[in-house]
Structure 1
Amino acid sequence: MEKYLDILKKSYSGYWNYLKHEIFFPNNWDNYFYGLIAISLIVWLLEIIFPWRKNQSFFRKDFWLDTFYMFFNFFLLNLIVLIALSNTVAEFFNDILKTVGLSLSSFKVFNADDLPKWLGLIIFFLVSDFVQWNTHRLLHRVPFLWNFHKVHHSVKEMGFAAHLRYHWMEPVVYKSLLYIPLALIANYKAQDVAIVYFFSIAIGHFNHANLGWDYGFLKYVFNNPKMHIWHHAKQLPQHVSYGVNFGLTLSIWDYLFRSDYIPHNGRDIELGFEGDENFPKGFLNQELYPLSKSK
């Protein structure tokens, strides 16, 4: 137990020092703090220049709430929960394997050093996105998880920052299900995968932005605003029970597994979910909502 407590302590202090360095002493291109700000400003500027819903304000409904969510979830949540949790769980999982004479490296599908870095990163990206697509479907299908995911679907006007409005439990679920698949293919340093994360953040911002783009023929590969708007539609089509268009970065999984749905231009459809008029409006009440529903 003392070992795990020490891991928690080092994880907190290590990430806090990393975050301070990222903010006050930026000196690398893979700076997540200023990278998020740069991507957000670029997409917001595009929203202002090319608005899809022209009657929607630049500072749309819940703009500042979503901006707070964006920084809280992307940085502070990592400090409070995810880094320490993932490091501790990883060590605990490895300790369990050691009791039967195994280690996680025994199950590796390939070693990153055995492949060109670009190929390894593509595999990392595809595996990660596919696992997250399936996890996203679970968030809609399992009632307990749906209560957490409602926070994201409480968005009533879409904009780039809505991308990162989610309950803190969501990344716990995502990262827990991602841990083993990613550990089995490779161990990458943060700098190695930075380009993948920046690309995913950009696509996620575009998906939620007030932009009427679908990327032409690339819409069958990459998720896009015209597709993702239907994922947030309040009224589900009659032939589905849990949702449509579950893709995060890639749309290809929805087309392959027939969960795609774009019946017409969805620019002015109502967003949300049944009963969202009674959903809490503020950050703390939204964070506490799933706990109240589980009682």
Structure 2
Amino acid sequence: MEKYIDIIKNSYSGYWNYLKHELISINHWDNYFYGLIIISILVWLLEIAFPWRKNQSIFRKDFWLDTFYMFFNFFLLNLIILIALSNTAAEFFNDILSIAGLNISNLQLFDVDNMPKALGLFIFFIISDFVQWNTHRLLHRVPWLWNFHKVHHSVKEMGFAAHLRYHWMEPIVYKSLLYIPIAIIGGFDAQDVAIVYFFAIIVGHLNHANLGWDYGFLKYVFNNPKMHIWHHAKELPKHVRYGVNYGLTLSLWDYIFKTNHIPHDGRDIELGFKGDEQFPKDFIEQELYPIKLKNEV
């Protein structure tokens, strides 16, 4: 137990020092803090220059709430819980393996260090995106997970920052299910991860932006605003129970597994979910919603 307490303490102090370094250091390209700001401003400028829904305000409904979510979820959330939890869970998993006389290196299928950099990054990206696509499906199919995911689907007007409106429980689920597949690959350094991270942020911001793009033939590979708007549609098609267009960065999985749905131009469809009129409108109440709901049952 003392080992896990030390891991938690070291995780907090280590991440706090990292965050301070990110804030004061602007001389490295993989700075997550300023990278997020630059990407957000650029996509917002695209929204302003090429708005799909022309009657939607530049400062759309919940613009500032989503902006707060964006910084809270990617920086403060990590400081408060996620880094410590991830490190503790990883150590616990390694301890379980050690009981069976194994360690994570025994499970590695291959090491990307032994591959060309581009191929290793491609494999890392494909595997992580596929795992996250399946995790996203679980968030819609499992009722107690859906209650957390409702925070993201409570968006009523789409804009770039809606990308990062989600409950703190979601990254815990994503990271937990992603840990083993990524550990089996092995061999990534921080800059490798940064490349994939920034690409995913760019595509995710564009998917939620007020833009009417589908990228032509590339729509069958990459998720896009015209496809993702239907994922947020309040009215699901009659033949669908849980949702459509689960892709995060890639649309490929939806076309392969027949979860794609773009019946027509979805520019003006109503967004949300059934019963969202009663869903909380402020940050604190949205974060507490799944807990209160459980207590009421």
Q: Which runs of 5+ in 2 are unaligned?
A: none
Q: Is the 8 A contact 2:108 2:183 kept in 1?
A: yes
Q: Which residue of structure 2 aligns with residue 59 of structure 1?
A: 59
Q: Which runs of 5+ in 1 are unaligned?
A: none
RMSD, aligned CA: 0.6
Q: Which residue of structure 2 aligns with residue 86 of structure 1?
A: 86
Q: Which residue of structure 2 aligns with residue 22 of structure 1?
A: 22
Counterparts of 1:210-221 in structure 2 under 5 Å? Answer: 210-221=210-221
Please give the alpha-carbon distance, in whole angstroms, between the structure 2 residues aligned to 1:193 and 1:286. 30
Q: Could you tell me which amino acid in structure 1 is paired with residue 154 of structure 2?
A: S
Q: Which residue of structure 1 aligns with residue 224 of structure 2?
A: 224
Q: Which residue of structure 1 aligns with residue 132 of structure 2?
A: 132
Please give the alpha-carbon distance, in whole angstroms, between the structure 2 residues aligned to 1:26 and 1:183. 30
Q: Which residue of structure 1 aligns with residue 292 of structure 2?
A: 292
Q: Which residue of structure 2 aligns with residue 170 of structure 1?
A: 170
Please give the alpha-carbon distance, in whole angstroms, between the structure 1 residues aligned to 2:176 and 2:142. 16
Please give the alpha-carbon distance, in whole angstroms, between the structure 2 residues aligned to 1:110 and 1:245. 31
- The answer to whether the aligner puts 1:103 opposite 2:103 as a matched pair is yes
Q: How many pairs are equivalent?
A: 295
Q: Is the 8 A contact 2:154 2:276 kept in 1?
A: yes
Give 3-state SS (helix, strand or coil) of 2:101's partner.
Answer: coil
Give 3-state SS (helix, strand or coil) of 1:85's partner.
Answer: helix
**CA-CA distance at 1:74 after TM superposition:** 0.7
**CA-CA distance at 1:187 after TM superposition:** 3.3
Q: Is the 8 A contact 2:155 2:162 kept in 1?
A: yes
Q: Which residue of structure 2 aligns with residue 193 of structure 1?
A: 193
Counterparts of 1:30-69 in structure 2 under 5 Å? Answer: 30-69=30-69
- Identity among equivalent pairs (%): 78
**CA-CA distance at 1:127 after TM superposition:** 0.3
**CA-CA distance at 1:95 after TM superposition:** 1.2
Q: Is the 8 A contact 2:113 2:187 kept in 1?
A: no
Single out whichever of 198-207 and 73-82 deviates more from structure 2: 73-82
Q: Could you tell me which amino acid in structure 2 is paired with residue 84 of structure 1?
A: A
Give 3-state SS (helix, strand or coil) of 1:66's partner.
Answer: helix
Q: Which residue of structure 1 aligns with residue 158 of structure 2?
A: 158
Please give the alpha-carbon distance, in whole angstroms, between the structure 2 residues aligned to 1:192 and 1:159. 28
Single out whichever of 233-242 and 113-122 deviates more from structure 2: 113-122
